[in-house]
Amino acid sequence: MKNNIVQRCDFRMHDMIDGKFRVERVLGFSQTDQKFKVNDTSGKEYILKLLKLWDVESRLRQSMLHSAENEIKSCRIKSNYLTTITHSGRVNGNPYLLMEYCSSEELSHLMSNPRLNTIKVVKEILYGLRDLHKSGKVHGQLTPEDVLITEGDHAVITNYVTFGRRGAIDNSSRQMRTVDSTKAYRAPELYRIEKCSTILPTVDIFSFGVILYQLLTGELPFGPLNTDSDWVLYQTRARNNEWNSNLLLRDENSEMWLSILNACLQADASKRARNIDELLDKMPANCYPYKGARDSQVEAPIVIQNGLVLHVMQGDDCGKYYRLPEIAQSPRRIITIGRADNSVFNMIQLSELASTYISRRHCTLELDCERDIWYIRDGQWCKESKEIWTRSLNGTFVNSDMVSQEGMEIRPGDIISIGGVKLRVEAY
């Protein structure tokens, strides 16, 4: 792509985008993107999200374009609990995506509404998050505005496609009259985003806890958030797990809600629920069951015929497969994984164009031949190192758990996080 073909877009009411979609309403903008409600030529309604590539430094445009298109590709998830991407393209050199529009109301407008079917909504939010996480995605910035309530109190999660850094706060579309309210839903490990190189599902579990508390009480769990001084106190209370449980005691389901909130609102991510199923297990199992979407690929293949494969679900090589038996042909039983770099040989080289969170010697896969089980270990053996075994700089994670030097077994359905790359373990 030549940088000079990227042109600024200033679409307004009734303008045509890409000659296909007429702007019905400008919904807003952020530092990285713009959102519109649009109609196609047949009158069908959509939400269009446009990356403002013209605002990106020319030297960074190619990598940003590549990352954005991979993000769109990785978010094409068929789920009854997520808004669906129906189309993508480019206009004036800037990538855009189209998501289905449904008549709905944001959950933020329904807090403490006694007519809302709370248990149904809560379970469906959890179903949406589980579908995201099983697909190797983390929302990273979930708020009540990102939950749409449609007819029949059906909950659908939106805004899970991220152009730019996951978990980062953007204030460009907000006047700084008050503190940014979206901060209230952020997990404490994201307060200093530069220290959090790998975004894990536990950040969504914390955000869900804040939303649930607000849905039940009409208030935020760690106090009001109107000024900068409120934000300082809010952070302190969140880090100390100081949320007011007394407001829930009159609720007929208080015991259930308190159990769920205790599993969500932990400052230490390792003490939160490890996955969404742990939260669903605390709710009534006989009502509002999960409904899978037709032709969905949310569930990883689990029947092993030939062996295990690592499927890139998020990252520069989204969609690529690494078949472990073919990479480590007998008698070889070790596979090294790291950032693509000419100075180090890795059997699986992960491309990382827009960041440097992957170590050159990041992790190692090792096959137990007798039991036919693969293990993953953080770091690699390095004869040049004083420590001999060199750990990665940012850690290796399986699902929400950090992998040690000693290693951890991997199974179909597991999500391996290496920097910003998500690999799903699948059978083939």
CB atoms within 10 A of CB 403: 23
- Report the first-to-last Cα separation within the chain, whole angstroms: 36
Beta strands in 101-204 (DSSP E): 105-106, 147-150, 154-157
Give, in degrees to the nearest 5, the angle at Cα 312 between 306 and 314: 160
Closest CA to 92 of 52, 41, 40: 52
C-alpha 337/C-alpha 325 separation (Å) is 15
Q: Are 151 and 124 in contact (CB under 8 A)?
A: no
Which amino acid is it at 228?
A: D
For residues 49 and 313, what is the distance between their CA atoms, to the nearest angstrom? 21
CA–CA distances in Å: residue 86 to residues 96, 148, 151, 249, 300 = 11, 18, 21, 44, 22
CB 217 within 8 A of CB 207: no
Which is it for the CA torsion 384, 385, 390, 394, positive or negative?
Answer: negative
Token output for 196? 């959090």
Please answer whether residues 157 and 125 qualify as being in contact, where contact means their C-beta atoms are separated by less than 8 angstroms.
yes
What is the reported pLDDT for 176? Answer: 47
For residue 17, count other CB atoms closer than 10 A to its CB.
19
145 three-class SS: helix
Separation CA 160–CA 148 (nearest Å)? 13
pLDDT values of the chain reduced to their tens digit, one per residue, 428 residues: 454 589 999 999 999 999 999 999 999 888 889 999 999 999 999 999 999 999 999 988 998 999 999 999 999 999 999 999 999 999 999 999 999 898 999 999 999 788 999 999 999 999 999 999 999 999 999 999 999 999 999 999 999 998 876 666 655 444 445 678 899 999 999 998 666 679 999 999 999 999 999 999 999 999 999 999 999 999 999 999 999 999 998 888 999 999 999 999 999 999 999 999 999 999 999 999 999 999 999 999 999 999 999 999 999 999 999 999 999 987 889 999 999 998 899 999 999 887 889 999 999 999 999 999 999 999 999 877 777 899 999 999 999 999 999 999 999 999 999 999 999 999 99
Paired tokens of 244: 């007011």
In the sheet that holds 421-427, the strands lie side by side as: 321-323, 308-314, 421-427, 415-418, 396-398, 401-402
* Contact criterion met (CB below 8 Å) for 387 and 99: no
Helix (H, G, I), strand (E, B) or coil at 348: strand
Looking at the DSSP bridge assignments, the partners of residue 98 are 48, 87
* Distance between CA atoms of residues 428 and 424, nearest Å: 12
How far is it, in rounded angstroms, from Cα 235 to Cα 231?
A: 6
Run of H or E including 35:
strand 33-39
Taking alpha carbons only, the member of 10, 13, 12, 19 closest to residue 40 is 19
**Strands lying side by side in the sheet with 105-106:** 105-106, 147-150, 154-157
| Residue 4 CB coordination number (10 Å) | 8
**Other beta carbons less than 10 A from residue 305's beta carbon:** 7
CA angle 309, 312, 316 (to 5 degrees): 145
Whole-prediction pTM: 0.93
Is residue 359 within 8 A of residue 341, CB to CB? The reply is: no
The closest of 130, 128, 224, 125 to 183, measured between CA atoms, is 224
Residue 182 CA to residue 169 CA, distance in Å, equals: 8
Contact partners, residue 411, CB within 8 Å, separation at least 6: 425
Contact between 219 and 226 (Cβ < 8 Å): no
- Nearest residue to 374 via CA among 301, 321, 324: 324
Give the Cα separation of 129 and 28 in Å (integer): 24
Q: CA 384: distance to chain centroid?
A: 37
Radius of gyration of the chain from its Cα atoms, rounded to whole angstroms: 22
In the three-class reduction of DSSP (H, G, I as helix; E, B as strand; rest coil), residue 354 is classed as: coil
The pairing of beta strand 94-100 with beta strand 45-51: antiparallel
